[in-house]
Amino acid sequence: MSAAWIYLGLCVVAYGFANYLQAVAVSRVSVHTSLDPGLLLRLARQRTYLLGVLCQFVGFVFAFLARADLPLFLVQTTAAAGLGVTALLGVFLLRWRLPRAEIALLGTLALGLAGLIVSAQRSPSRELHTGETLALGSGVLLIALLGVVAARVHGARGSVVLGCLAGLCFGAAAVASRPLASVHSLPLFLGDPLLYILVLYVAVGQLMLGLAMQRGSTTAAVAAMDATAVVPAALIGLLLLGDRIEPGLGWLAAAGFVVTLGSILGLTRYAAPQHGCAPPQEPTADRATVAEERRAS
């Protein structure tokens, strides 16, 4: 078995833990109504959030390593399937009760992923031209400007808009990482502009996601993020980066993609704690800090 497949499985587990931990953390910070980077500083005071970010970073590293040989439509969709892991964690650790519809979604998720795995063909990415790199880099500025406007939108609509922008950031980071993952020389890796484009997209995406989860609907935020992180990146991979599908299995790849993405969107309700399930408690010092922030606001 290729190491890329192992990396792919590990990234799903890491993202499953990250989804829940970050959702719990952002619910404990006063709501921000602007694109304020200070939100990340306040979240960084919470151990739960830091642990969630660590899990997300580990998942991103494994996904990055998997992209060296596997197409984006497979890696992006499989990484988003971490919500399935979140649901299973809720069942075994937090005593969530899954209705039959959700159990069925887990089953279709597994079937969809199986279709993607069978139809995906291993291949390295082609390199991006200078113009393509510049276009990719300029996109982060456009998304940040849109985020300034979107931060003023509240409620579920704000969650969706900001979640979409976060997903675009993470999808663009995946596009940058596909050719970057094939660079095996450390000096070339550190000197590649794609590395710094990737870092910018991840930082802006993380801020957008935190704001989106604060708008009152983690479900809407994660659903919007997953859809916009998966679909555009998958199309760009197939059209520009040389991603390949096994001959004669295009229908299976398309069916697997649609079934998997649909199952992921159905499972997004498990990105937030269910009623009656108390989230992990922060240490006393952290709770006092949150209380002081709320009184100050």
Alpha-carbon distance 130 to 133, whole Å? 5
Given a contact cutoff of 8 angstroms between Cβ atoms, the answer to whether 265 and 226 are in contact is yes
Question: 58-62, 142-146, 157-161, 230-234: which range is least confident on average?
Answer: 157-161
Q: Phi/psi of residue 49, each to 5°?
A: -65, -45
DSSP 52-94: HHHHHHHHHHHHHHHTTTS-HHHHHHHHHTHHHHHHHHHHHHS
Query: Which is more confident, 201 or 281?
Result: 201
Q: How confident is the model at residue 24 (pLDDT cuts 50, 70, 90)?
A: low
Mean pLDDT of 175-189: 91
Give the tens place of pLDDT for each residue, 253-284.
Answer: 999 999 988 888 787 665 444 444 444 444 44
Alpha-carbon distance 169 to 188, whole Å? 24
* Residue showing tokens 């709320």: 294
The enclosing H or E element of 245 equals strand 244-245
| Token output for 12 | 């799903």
Give the tens place of pLDDT for each residue, 82-98.
Answer: 777 777 776 776 676 76
